[in-house]
Amino acid sequence: MSASLKGRLLIASPALADPNFDHTIVLMVEHGDEGALGLVLNRPSDTPVGELLPAWGLDAAEPGVVFLGGPVSPDSAIGLAFAGNGAPAESPEGWIPLLGGLGTVDLTRDPADVRPPVRALRVFAGYAGWAGGQLESELDAGGWFVVDAELDDALTREPDQLWRSVLRRQRGSLSWLANFPLDPATN
């Protein structure tokens, strides 16, 4: 396996044939020899977080809805949150750092029991998962572009614009794909 992609973004290539990932941005939460797990950052649902997880509703970042994190285990929930003041916590409880002040949060805990305290939360139903070597095969086939994440990507207020905005900030020809039509048939 090459270097871990944990904390980085996958941008779905227009050539990616899987409709589950059409024009998606995936934040990689885990990546190793055993496989990989990521969260689709730009697929909001219509379900308010407070409807499914009342204790966490007030912490939900705008838009305060559950996001469709991927096709695997759609009945499970994963929380991604900004916690504390952005500095690493000395002894976190219920929060696992991922990138700076961003990490996963244990949604089974009461929000008041999480350390450092959660400042903003996004809840994902399901996740994107790959068996060992599967993601690497998709990368080799040109299905994904790997880029650095910015902290604001994870809890963006404009998820519908995320695919284009992440592409626009890239250097060189990769930025040109931001102009790729969402439906090539309408081009």
Q: Check the CA dihedral 133-135-136-141 and report its sign.
A: positive
Tell me: pLDDT of 35 over 80.
Answer: yes
Token reading at 176: 């040109």
Tokens of 90: 């000395």
The full set of domains in the chain, from first to last, is: 8-186 (3.40.1740.10)
* pLDDT (tens digit per residue) in 54-107: 999 999 999 999 999 999 999 999 999 998 765 555 678 999 999 988 999 999
Give the tens place of pLDDT for each residue, 122-137. Answer: 999 999 999 999 999 9
The residues, ordered by sequence, that sit 6+ positions from 184 with a Cβ below 8 Å of its Cβ are 14
- pTM confidence score: 0.91
Instruction: Tell me which amino acid residue 142 is.
Output: G
